[in-house]
Every structure is written in C-alpha cells, then in structure tokens.
C-alpha cells in the first residue's frame, strides 16, 4: 500500500502543476489560440475567462501541487516538476515559441522531464536510465511536433508563430524530421543496455524505430519529389 499511496500522491501533485502550466499557457497564448482552428475553443481564447481568473487558477494549482510533492513525496520531485512549469509555461511559451523556429527543439526539454520526475518520485534519486529516457523523449519531440505543424501550417502562419514549416520549405522541414528520427532510433536502442531490458525490448526498438524512420524517409521523398500534400 505504501508504494501505491506514494504513486497516487505523486500523480496528483504532478497533475496539479501540469494543469497550472496549461492554464498559464492558455493565458499567454489567448490571442494566438483565437486565430487557430484547433485552439479557438479554449475558454481563454473565447473570452469566457478573464486574465485574472486564469492567473489565480494557475497559481492555486501550482501552489497546491508543489506543496503536495514537497511534503508527501520528496523535494527533488517538487523542484523537477516546478522546473517543468517554468520551462514550458515561461521559457517555451513566452520566450522561445514566438521568436525562433527551433522553439520546439529547446522547449521540448520540458516535455521530457516527466520521465525524471516519475523516477525521482519513486526513488528520490536520478540515475542514467531516466536520463537516457529523457534524451529519447527530448529527441522524439521535434519530429513528431513538426509533422503536426506541417498539418496545421496555415493555422500557425495566421497566428504569426514561426514554426519550422512556416518559415522553411517542406523539403527542409521533412529533412530535419528524418535526421531527428534517425538520431531518435539510435537513442532508443541505447535504452536497452543502460536499463538492462533484454532482447525483447531490443527487437521492439529496432523494428519500431526502423518503421518510424521509414515513414520519415518516405515523407522526405515525397517532399523532394513535390508529391507531399
């Protein structure tokens, strides 16, 4: 029961801080969200919530989650979670996203930190295994998000957000997707020996990583031949 209790408390605290980051993100990006079809439904974009209400809501969630993690889980987990809030809600949303097409590359660290958070919540420490897992998710973020950005390129362009598909050609974007996917494949294979996961993981990572790389390569081929839609 002790491990279950710890897991539930950690999930609750992380959930609260993650919700706070999402609320703050909606506050900062309400103007952008209103111009994009996939985000125009958000209450902040529609004016259903005021800036003050959203900010208070975010602050309350962040405070409750941080206290819960610090007192009932451990301080390391709390600081990692709070760092993720700062990385996503402020460094990525406020600074990187509107300024550089490499925003998701740098800001993707915030999306990879939960691996470290989960590990620290259970062990109150960090080892090479969660660090390698962090690297896998960090490297995975650009190719998967740029593929999404290609799909919603017009939305990002209308909102003046310099995502890579907006400021670069489709050929350049798909080439970067392919390069990151190849590096991701290599990183995923490294997880096996570091985490001592055995041959089943190795075969799965080899096959699935190869399939991901194949599709990334095919997308690049279509872009080079001007057949991508």
Per residue in 161-220, pLDDT (tens digit) is 888 999 999 999 999 999 999 999 999 999 999 988 899 999 999 999 999 999 999 999
Mean residue pLDDT of the chain comes to 91
CA pair distance 12, 158, nearest whole angstrom? 37
pLDDT at 155: 87
pLDDT digits (tens, 9 = 90+) for 40-72: 889 999 999 999 999 999 999 999 999 999 999
The model carries a pTM of 0.84
More confident residue, 99 or 175: 175
pLDDT at 127: 92
- 88, 111 in Cβ contact below 8 A? yes
CA-to-CA separations, 206 to 115, 124, 155, 186, 203, in angstroms, rounded: 21, 31, 35, 9, 5
pLDDT digits (tens, 9 = 90+) for 120-169: 999 999 999 999 999 999 999 999 899 989 988 988 888 888 889 999 99
- 200, 157 in Cβ contact below 8 A? no
- 49, 43 in Cβ contact below 8 A? yes
pLDDT at 38: 81
pLDDT at 102: 82
Instruction: Label residue 93 by pLDDT band (50, 70, 90).
Output: confident
- 17, 82 in Cβ contact below 8 A? yes
- 201, 192 in Cβ contact below 8 A? yes
160 CB neighbour count, 10 Å cutoff: 11
- 84, 17 in Cβ contact below 8 A? yes
pLDDT at 6: 93
- 39, 87 in Cβ contact below 8 A? no
What is the separation of C-alpha 64 from the centre of its chain, rounded to a whole number of angstroms?
23
pLDDT at 227: 58
CA pair distance 211, 168, nearest whole angstrom? 26
């Amino acid at each position: 029961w002790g491990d279950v209790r710890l897991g539930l408390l950690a999930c609750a605290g992380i959930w609260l801080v993650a919700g706070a980051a999402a609320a703050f993100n909606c506050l900062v990006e309400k103007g952008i969200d209103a111009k994009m079809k996939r985000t125009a439904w958000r209450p902040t974009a529609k004016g259903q919530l005021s800036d003050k209400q959203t900010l208070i809501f975010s602050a309350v969630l962040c405070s409750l989650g941080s206290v819960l993690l610090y007192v009932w889980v451990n301080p390391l987990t709390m600081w990692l979670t709070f760092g993720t809030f700062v990385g996503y809600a402020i460094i990525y949303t406020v600074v990187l996203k509107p300024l550089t097409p490499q925003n998701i590359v740098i800001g993707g660290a915030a999306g990879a930190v939960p691996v470290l958070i989960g590990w620290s919540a259970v062990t109150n420490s960090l080892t090479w295994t969660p660090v390698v897992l962090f690297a896998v998710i960090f490297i995975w973020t650009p190719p998967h998000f740029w593929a999404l950005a290609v799909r919603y390129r017009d939305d990002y362009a209308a909102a003046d957000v310099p995502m890579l598909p907006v400021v670069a050609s489709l050929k350049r974007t798909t080439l970067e997707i392919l390069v990151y996917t190849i590096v991701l494949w290599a990183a995923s294979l490294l997880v096996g020996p570091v985490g001592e996961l055995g041959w089943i993981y190795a075969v799965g990572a080899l096959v699935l990583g190869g399939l991901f790389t194949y599709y990334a390569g095919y997308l690049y081929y279509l872009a080079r031949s001007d057949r991508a839609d």
